[in-house]
Amino acid sequence: MKDSKTNQLKKAMLLYAVTDRSWLLDNQTLYGECEKAIKGEITLLQLREKNLSTEDFIKEGIQIKELCHKNNIKLIINDDVDVMVALDADGLHIGQYDGNVKRIRDLIGPNKILGVSSQTVKESIKAISDGADYLGIGAVFCTSTKLDAVDVSFETLKAITKISKVPTCAIGGINLDNISDLESSGINGCAIVSAIFNGNDVEHSTRILREKCDDAFYKYNVGNHIYDLDGTLIDSLGIWENLASSYLKERNIVAKLNLEEEINNLSLDESSSYLKDNYGLLESKQEIKNQIVNKIYHLYSDSIKLKSGVRSYLESIYNKGITLSIASASSKSLVNAVLKNNNIDELFSVIKTEEEVGESKAKSSLIYDEILKELNVEKNDVVVFEDSYAAIKTLKSNDYYSIGVYDEHSIDDISDICDYFIKDFKEC
């Protein structure tokens, strides 16, 4: 399945290198340093030449374009439409005062990439309306490479990413020490100049920057999110903790001390079977399951609420065009009830339950695989949010990217086994 232009750009924003020949040493060439940056795994390259003649700019651009395309990297030209057209480069980046966005869009056509610098929400809305494919927002930190840059506060950066329907990157003074400060801003990545090109070992510097960007921004660059429900989106695990014991007590049966531990990682079907087989219940496994579901249905349809920060986060991600799905151990009726109760049911494209697929998340990745199949997407375009240690182990062993979500009812520390960990959704 081919990525859309927007989805490709989301990924390209991750580590966006912007050249600056002023950092070159006597034994270095811009071509050679760009080659090192590409080996270090940049995701996009902007050729920025403020002092070269058009002829020399084009001559240099021919070689660097060939280098980029040989390595599946797109080349963006800074501020010079004539050079971009002459090179047939992949796109153009302009500042607020470098030309009329709408006119330039008409000039370069719909298939070329057009990036626009912005510093305010108003500028961003206009740039998008006029045809920008992505926004470069900044300067977010103090920078020496653009002396007339106006700092953009974190609050403004976050406000822009929240309203933006196109990919975004931050620019200005970004380095290894401050990338993590931007990870909850909603940007898709960083455009970086000196932290890449100011050094003797560009490849090594770039590789470390790439690792930092992967950690900070991966979740904003995929097109699909899969969410566990109980303990991840909703605060419900406390209800389930004593449910089996309560069910047995109503039948005058004393539960074993380790009952909850025994069924902790079982699906609803498996838990019903466990109770049937170990406590001599007269009801069928299906009847046991139905009775358990009926026992808590009213809580899911009336009382259970979303965890802190969930609503605003889901709405923001949904508005950016990311497809949302649910992979739940709860029954379909409970899932539908709690999503509707919290007015978020329309945000989700696919809902799968362990009951439907016949396997628990603790033992198999089948539920996630089925969602991917229905969406017709690959694993590398998916991130999964989970609070369960066993489910995250399954994700890890099946090459899924996981974001662990803290839940106070969990007895296991998931922070070391997931790819990324959050205490709550307000961190996102």
User: Which residue, 307, 303, 251, 306, is CA-closest to 275?
Assistant: 251
User: Could you say which residues of the chain have pLDDT below 50?
Assistant: 1-2
Report the CATH superfamily, name and number, of domain 5-221: Aldolase class I (3.20.20.70)
The radius of gyration of the chain from alpha carbons, rounded to an integer in Å, stands at 26
- List the chain domain ranges: 5-221, 223-428
Residue type, 247: Y
Q: Are strands 168-171 and 189-192 parallel, antiparallel or unpaired?
A: parallel
Residue type, 243: L
Q: Which of 48, 210, 276, 352 is catalytic?
A: 48
CA separation (Å) from 206 to 84, 183, 209, 380? 26, 18, 5, 22
Give the domain 223-428 fold: Rossmann fold (3.40.50)
What lies within 8 Å, CB to CB, of 51 at 6+ separation is: none
Query: Looking at residue 148, what is its pLDDT?
Result: 55
Q: What is the pLDDT of residues 5-64, one digit of tens each?
A: 887 898 899 999 999 999 998 889 999 999 999 999 999 999 999 999 999 999 999 999
What lies within 8 Å, CB to CB, of 418 at 6+ separation is: 386, 392, 396, 402, 403, 404
Query: Looking at residue 293, what is its pLDDT?
Result: 82
**DSSP label at 234?**
B
Measure the CA–CA gap between 293 and 152, rounded to whole angstroms. Answer: 51
Q: Do domains 5-221 and 223-428 have the same CATH topology?
A: no
Q: Which of 10, 36, 112, 117 is catalytic?
A: 117
Measure the CA–CA gap between 161 and 220, rounded to whole angstroms. Answer: 11
Q: What is the pLDDT of residues 395-406, one digit of tens each?
A: 999 999 999 999
The answer to whether 179 touches 209, Cβ cutoff 8 Å, is: yes
The answer to whether 160 touches 135, Cβ cutoff 8 Å, is: yes
Q: Edge to edge, what strands does the sheet with 382-386 contain? A: 348-353, 323-328, 224-227, 382-386, 401-405, 420-422
Is residue 146 among the annotated active site residues? yes
**DSSP label at 150?**
P
Q: Which of 5, 39, 102, 146 is catalytic?
A: 146
Exposed e or buried b for every residue in 298-331, given b needs 16+ CB within 10 A?
eebeeebebbeebbebbebbbebebbbbbbbbbb
Query: Looking at residue 324, what is its pLDDT?
Result: 97
**Cα-to-chain-centroid distance, residue 72:** 22
Query: Looking at residue 259, what is its pLDDT?
Result: 84
